[in-house]
Amino acid sequence: MSDLSGETSRRTPSRVHVVVNSQSERARRIASSVETGLASHGIGTSRESDDSESVPFGTAQPNEVPVLNSTDLILVIGGDGTMLRAAEIGRESGAAILGVNLGHVGFLAEAEEEDLAFVINSVAGGRWSVEERLALDVLVVGSGPAGRKVVDHTWALNEISLEKHAREKMISVLAHVDEHPLSRWGCDGVICATPTGSTAYAFSAGGPIVWPEVSALLLLPISAHSLFARPAVIAPTSVIRLDLSPESDAVMWADGRRMIAIAAGSSIEVRAHVQPVRFARLVTSPFTDRLVAKFQLPVDGWRGSTGAGGE
Q: Where are the domains of the chain?
A: 16-134+276-295, 136-272
CATH class of 16-134+276-295: alpha beta
Rounded distance, CA 186 to CA 229, Å? 10
**Is residue 11's pLDDT more than 70?**
yes
Identify the pLDDT of residue 97: 95
- The third-level CATH classification (topology) of the domain covering 136-272 is Tumour Suppressor Smad4 (2.60.200)
Bridge-based pairing state of the strands 96-101 and 111-112? parallel
Of residues 267 and 298, which shows the higher confidence score? Answer: 267
Four-point Cα dihedral 261, 263, 264, 268, nearest 10: -80
152 included as an active-site residue: no
Q: Is 45 exposed, middle or buried (0-12, 13-18, 19+ CB in 10 A)?
A: buried
Q: Cα–chain-centroid distance for residue 241?
A: 21
Bridge-based pairing state of the strands 96-101 and 136-144? unpaired
In the set 50, 51, 72, 80, the catalytic residue is 80
Lowest mean pLDDT among 54-58, 143-147, 211-215, 235-239: 54-58
pLDDT in tens, 85-131: 899 888 888 899 999 988 777 788 888 889 999 999 999 999 999 99
**Is residue 182's pLDDT more than 90?**
yes
